[in-house]
Amino acid sequence: MPGRVTVHEFESRLLEGNPLGDSHVRHVPVYLPPGHEDASGRRYPVLFALAGFTGTGRSYLNLDWWQPDLPTQLDRLIERGDLDPVVVVMVDGMTALGGNQYVDSEAVGPWARHVTEELVPWAERTLPVLEGREHRGVFGKSSGGYGSLMMGLEHADVFSGVACHSGDCYFEYCYAPDFPKAADGLASVGGLGPFLEGVRRRKWPKFPSSLFAALNITAMAHFYSPNADAPHGVDLPFDERTGARRPDVLARWARRDPVEIAAAHVADLNRLSHLWIECGTRDEFHLHHGARILSSRLTELGVDHVHEEFDDDHRSLSYRYDVTLPPLVRALR
């Protein structure tokens, strides 16, 4: 018998009135494992799934001709005996900027608090999950991998297990190469103001690939360098006219880079029962280098973790959950 997916309408008090005008009513899919409806009263570990940039919780339900959706994948792993039964909450992190880094920002909203202070207690109240941080894990890919890392770094009082798949880290490599392309993209549409207005109004019938760097860097600035006094509520990491880097802004970005802040969070990281960091060796955003550098830092700091590499790029990596989720859930039993 397969597990069951229900999509819950969740009204967030914390996200109400957020700066981007995103709805505070979120649509949160939940996977319940086979056998959850029996009369035993059994409770399960719980995972919170964080989608990558341009994705959201319902993206985990998308059918693919080659790779299954997440619930089908979980069913298969459980049926084979490779994965202990688990509840999975798929966070709805979609924003007007196309995605989420799952950290609090005055330019976007209190997204980390939404997960830790709203969704976690809600899950324990309403779902058949084990109570306590030792039974909670978080995983995600790309921006979701970054969010998972940040949950481990800054919210180890809430989560015990972390699996980061191709997560954003070592910003000098993963973001800085796109600064010139982002500057050119913004210039092509008249600057940051017209660009943000075009995004909000869905100016284009489909989003232009030539503007993706502008979208990505602009969105990251909303999470890493918000500034209520700036004309559009954020500081870009480069001068919009010349493209020159802005060291003062980049210093603020560094304070959100897992590589740069790991040393300040050793005690938090050592509270985790499981920390998995992985990336493909052909990642287009150079995140395999970031994962290697982060792993090396963690080893120097004495933080227990697993670091794995595999031969692939940044896309269509859900098959890796076959490898990463079983040990994560075992650590949460």
How much is the pLDDT for 143? 98
Task: Tell whether pTM > 0.75.
Answer: yes
Q: Is the pLDDT of residue 91 over 80?
A: yes
Q: Is the pLDDT of residue 37 over 80?
A: yes
Model confidence over 8-23: pLDDT tens digits? 999 999 999 999 999 9
* Third-level CATH fold of 4-170+260-330: Rossmann fold (3.40.50)
Q: How far is CA 172 from CA 24, 70, 251, 258, 281, in A?
A: 33, 32, 11, 12, 18
User: Would you list the domain boundaries of the chain?
Assistant: 4-170+260-330, 173-254
How much is the pLDDT for 39? 65
- Side chain identity, residue 73: Q
Q: How far is CA 37 from the centre of its chain?
A: 30
For the chain, what is the mean pLDDT?
97
Model confidence over 184-222: pLDDT tens digits? 999 999 999 999 999 999 999 999 999 999 999 999 999
Q: Is the pLDDT of residue 113 over 70?
A: yes
Model confidence over 164-189: pLDDT tens digits? 999 999 999 999 999 999 999 999 99
How much is the pLDDT for 40? 82
Q: Is the pLDDT of residue 330 over 90?
A: yes
Q: Is the pLDDT of residue 276 over 90?
A: yes
How much is the pLDDT for 31? 98
